[in-house]
Amino acid sequence: MTRPGILNFNKPTGMTSFDVVRIVRRGTGEKRVGHAGTLDPLATGVLLVLLGQAARITEYLMDLPKTYRATVRLGQSTDTYDAEGRVTNDRPVAVTEDEFRSVANEFLGETQQRPPAYSALKVGGQPAYKAARRGEEVDLAPRAVTVHRIDVTSFSAPFAEIEVECSRGTYIRTIAHDIGERLGCGAHLAGLVRTRIGPFSIDDATTDGELTEAFAAGDWPDLLQPIDLGLMALPALTARMSLEQDLRHGQPIVLDEESARPLPSPANGAEARAYAEDGSLIGIIRYDGEGAMWRPRKILSPER
């Protein structure tokens, strides 16, 4: 069985997220390989590839805040909101840097964002982009997203660069498109780099060439990060051996004074990382306030 873990991969342009999964599956021999957060082929940067049991925490990795560096091209709108689409409008650009900054700041905080028609979101059981390519009308409902930070790092019309830190489900190409609409000149996303997902930074990411060399040398497991690195936002608890066995058998536990680092007065529904006495990760547990006990949420099989 392949050692489970998280590969922080620096996806190159032109490669789909599934291309990366397929390459890792072939290079490792591991059948259970997935990823946490799709990057469009045009985009580059951090893609978290999950091997083995790491795939069980996908939802937690997806919820981590993400940071992007984006190039916005003013004056041209496209049907996909990025440089791969058909130009639908070409207008002159008479926008100052101050005007651009002012409009960009309007997207800070929690907003309702309408996803682009050319997206992988399902409509009638199929990805929306398939219907859009057939020329069908696609009307995706707005959804709540949060932009924690948006900085304009450079401006030289018709191009501007922004750095965006945002929540799960935020489309940066929609932000680029909407900025252009509010400025009255149109815009699309000309380039995108995902520089961070939670604690995973592009500075530490494995490149395509490094991964190829690691597969050839057979030392690719050294590139994997431990599963719990993606769970550091959760507090940690240590369960003594008898309680560990209860959790592994799907039984709730009550933490007592013999358990290390108990949480003080956890809220109902609070989650935590549970560790065994030897320091290995048992999994994720959730507090049941009504029974004053911790119930198994995601329990991992012990490594052999």
The catalytic site residues sit at 40
Q: Beta 44-51 vs 187-197: how paired, if at all?
A: parallel
Q: Omega into 158 within 30° of 0, i.e. cis?
A: yes
Take residue 193 and report the two structure tokens written for it: 């780099």
Instruction: List Cα–Cα distances, 127 to 122, 131, 140, in angstroms.
Output: 4, 7, 11
- Rg of the chain over CA atoms, in angstroms? 22
Sign of CA dihedral 108, 62, 40, 88: negative
Distance (Å, whole) CA 50 – CA 47: 10
Closest to 159 (Cα-Cα) out of 37, 38, 69: 69
